[in-house]
């Protein structure tokens, strides 16, 4: 269960109960999340907290090209090193009202419940994206486990029910989808310009790419065998077929 949602503890979720009865945990399992990929390049994002958990969130934001601002009183050596190198902006103090101003999203990664609640409530007033680590009910977005390989990113979420299970699924999925899939995605991206300029309809472009990905020979099998030239020939053949169909 979430770290701060256990029987007998003060309630911190939207139900505002006198004492937590864990109903928020069930609510999360019944929540249908709208899955989206955020483009954070050049956007200013706030992380409150600079311990091990904060570092993990900071690194994820940096990987996505965000401009990361960190507010924390206690700063781990790794976060301080990132600040010294100019990778993050560091403000060494407690969180204050108004600190969310000028940020696209906020992540609360502190061990202080009242601070986390204050961050979430201010974000709600601003209609701003906020994630409170390990407290799914205090999140307007959650952070799934991610499998990355080249341009491919696969997200795994358990709606906050079991991060451990999500990590296991991440390992298993990484074994299924790897470098060959990433290489094929990059190759097909090179053909997108031709497809858009040559094939007049969405349906024609869809059928063209599906004929390559799902056809015979299998382009993934060819790449696994180290035969990139055969993949190029396959694509050229499908291009010729598509062009002849237009005549």
Q: For the chain of 247 residues, list the mean pLDDT of each consecutive stretch of 10.
A: 48 61 62 86 98 96 97 97 97 97 97 93 97 89 87 84 87 91 95 95 94 95 96 96 90
Is this prediction's pTM over 0.75? no
CA 68 to chain centre: 16
Distance (Å) of CA 162 to CA 166, 170, 173, 230, 238: 6, 13, 17, 43, 44
What pLDDT shows up at residue 224? 95
- Alpha-carbon distance values, 148 to 43, 45, 94, 155, 183 (Å): 21, 21, 34, 9, 13
Give the residue from 161, 124, 127, 123 showing the smallest Cα distance to 144: 161
Q: Which residues touch 165 (CB under 8 Å, ≥6 apart)? A: 158
- Residue 84 is predicted with a pLDDT of 97
Q: How many residues are recorded in the chain?
A: 247
What is the structure's pLDDT at 158?
82
Residue 218: other Cβ atoms inside 10 A: 14
């Amino acid at each position: 269960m979430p770290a701060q949602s256990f029987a007998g503890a003060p309630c911190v979720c939207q139900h505002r109960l006198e004492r937590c009865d864990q109903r928020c945990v069930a609510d999360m399992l019944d929540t249908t999340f709208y899955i989206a990929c955020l483009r954070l390049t050049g956007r200013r994002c706030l992380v409150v907290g600079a311990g091990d958990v904060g570092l993990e969130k900071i690194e994820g934001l940096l990987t996505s090209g965000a401009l990361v601002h960190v507010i924390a009183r206690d700063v781990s050596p790794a976060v301080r090193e990132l600040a010294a190198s100019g990778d993050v902006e560091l403000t060494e103090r407690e969180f204050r009202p108004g600190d969310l101003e000028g940020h696209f999203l906020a992540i609360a990664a502190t061990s202080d419940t009242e601070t986390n609640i204050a961050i979430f409530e201010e974000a709600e007033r601003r209609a701003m994206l906020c994630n409170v680590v390990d407290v799914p009910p205090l999140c307007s977005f959650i952070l799934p486990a991610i499998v990355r390989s080249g341009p491919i990113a696969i997200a795994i979420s358990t709606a906050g029910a079991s991060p451990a299970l999500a990590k296991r699924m991440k390992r298993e999925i990484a074994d299924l989808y790897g470098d060959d899939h990433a290489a094929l995605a990059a190759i097909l991206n090179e053909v997108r310009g031709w497809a858009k300029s040559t094939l007049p309809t969405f349906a024609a472009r869809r059928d063209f790419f599906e004929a390559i990905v799902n056809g015979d020979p299998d382009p993934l099998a060819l790449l696994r065998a180290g035969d990139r030239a055969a993949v190029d020939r396959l694509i050229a053949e499908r291009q010729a077929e598509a062009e002849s169909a237009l005549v």
